[in-house]
Amino acid sequence: MSELSIGKEEYLARRRRVVSEVEAQGARGMVLFGSTSIFYLTGFAFLPTERPAALILEPERASLFVPRLEQEHAEETAFVDLVRTYPEYPGERHPMRCLADFLEELGLGEGTLAADAPGYGSGWGYEGPPLDQLLSGVVIKLLPKLVERHRMIKSPQEVRLIRESARWGNLAHALLQEYSRPGATENEISLRASLEATQAMVRTLGPTFEPRGGEGASAGFRGQIGPNSALPHAITRNLRLREGDVLVTGASATVWGYGSELERTMFVGRPSPEQRKFFDLMLALQDLSFETIRPGIPCAEVDRAVRAFYDRHELWPYWRHHVGHALGLLGHEAPFFDIGDGTIIEPGMVFSVEPGLYVPGLGGFRHSDTLVITENGFELLTYYPRDLESLICG
């Protein structure tokens, strides 16, 4: 086992916890269609398309059901007991009917069967029947959030992978800042920084390193340049950097499927007094978030404290989103630092912290840092400079 991977024993422990809950619900097993859940429980990272894939969990066995094109891939990388394939989608016999046959063969054709969804789903042209139309003797009990709840608390090894991601995201961001000069386009800057950081990552970590779901390190702007940075979820437009632009960045790296989140507000040249004002307010918002976050309180309390700052400083015209979100295998996971999320913060949870200000015509102002909750507070996993003077380019 590589130091930068999840080992078989951890996958088995995850499955035991899930199966224990499934049995407590009176089900004989569980069918999981979600690709993230399948990876979390088996280590099998794959491209979900129109072709159905499923993991079948029983008390003493885990089986993968995949298209023929994934057979060797699954057999090589998945920690499971059995891999069963079907020819192709839609095929002469629909894959969901093949899955029903397989469940019958496993002895799961009657009684109660848990599932994370009624059937397979995909936006890639897929159509197909739900499980309960194919197994007349089975009662399907939907448990769509079961695995997601388990993913909220990261193991020490998961935190180690996220910490490693933050390390290489930091390098990618440093290169991004170095190459951010007036006249350069966002694509050339991002591609250059991401390539160089990934090359350094691969050389340093060696032949045992596996991203498992990504391609290494990356950094970019995603269109958040100049006035366009006032759009929190802008998309890349290949904009050219100009003197006076506000830049909102993003950097990360994928390590065995896990990522981190590092974002900074930078400036092309010296910021104007108005830009400096909103930068300072944004920094105060993030500092307040850090002061509030601790184990044992609801996630909502963090957002509530930040909202009070918006009230005091009359900043609501510049508000667009909550304070942050959990992350790990996905860029956004539950729970959320949101006024509507009462989830209690626990040690092992990993969050982004990213309250922002978005001023139309001027720009966006947002830092994002990744932290892990500890027994007494939290530890920052990202460590790129946050102060204004360190974030001036050009």
What is the SS3 assignment for 11? helix
| 220-224: average pLDDT | 97
Question: H-type helices in 78-208, by residue range?
Answer: 95-105, 146-151, 156-179, 186-205
- Among 132, 150, 168, residue at a domain's last position: 150
Residue 217 vs residues 71, 227, 258, 385: alpha-carbon distances, Å: 29, 27, 12, 19
On whether both 269 and 317 belong to a single domain, the answer is yes
pLDDT > 80? residue 22: yes
Which CATH number fits the domain that encloses residue 372? Answer: 3.90.230.10
On whether both 54 and 160 belong to a single domain, the answer is no
- Examine residue 201 and state whether it is found in any structural domain, yes or no: yes
pLDDT > 90? residue 2: no
On whether both 221 and 292 belong to a single domain, the answer is yes
On whether both 46 and 110 belong to a single domain, the answer is yes
pLDDT > 90? residue 208: no
CA distance 161 to 248: 25
Q: Are 391 and 267 within 8 A, CB to CB?
A: yes
- Examine residue 1 and state whether it is found in any structural domain, yes or no: no
Query: To which H or E segment does residue 2 belong?
Result: none
Domain count for the chain, please give it: 2
On whether both 195 and 77 belong to a single domain, the answer is no
Q: Is 238 left (phi over 0), alpha (psi -120 to 50) or beta?
A: left
- Among 150, 179, 202, residue at a domain's last position: 150
| 329-350: average pLDDT | 98
Identify the pLDDT of residue 298: 98
The neighbouring-strand residues paired with 323 are: none
On whether both 40 and 140 belong to a single domain, the answer is yes
Count the Cβ atoms, other than its own, within 10 Å of residue 26.
11
pLDDT > 90? residue 164: yes
pLDDT > 90? residue 304: yes
| 133-144: average pLDDT | 95
- Among 150, 178, 209, residue at a domain's last position: 150
| 104-118: average pLDDT | 97
Q: Are 353 and 337 within 8 A, CB to CB?
A: yes
Range of the domain at 26: 8-150
On whether both 325 and 306 belong to a single domain, the answer is yes
Identify the pLDDT of residue 267: 98
Identify the pLDDT of residue 214: 82
Query: To which H or E segment does residue 280 belong?
Result: helix 273-292
- Examine residue 2 and state whether it is found in any structural domain, yes or no: no
Which CATH number fits the domain that encloses residue 114? Answer: 3.40.350.10
pLDDT > 70? residue 1: no
On whether both 134 and 20 belong to a single domain, the answer is yes
- Examine residue 3 and state whether it is found in any structural domain, yes or no: no
Q: Could you write out the DSSP letters of every residue in 196-210?
A: HHHHHHHHHH-TT--
- Binned at pLDDT 50, 70 and 90, residue 82 comes out as very high
| 38-67: average pLDDT | 98
- Examine residue 272 and state whether it is found in any structural domain, yes or no: yes
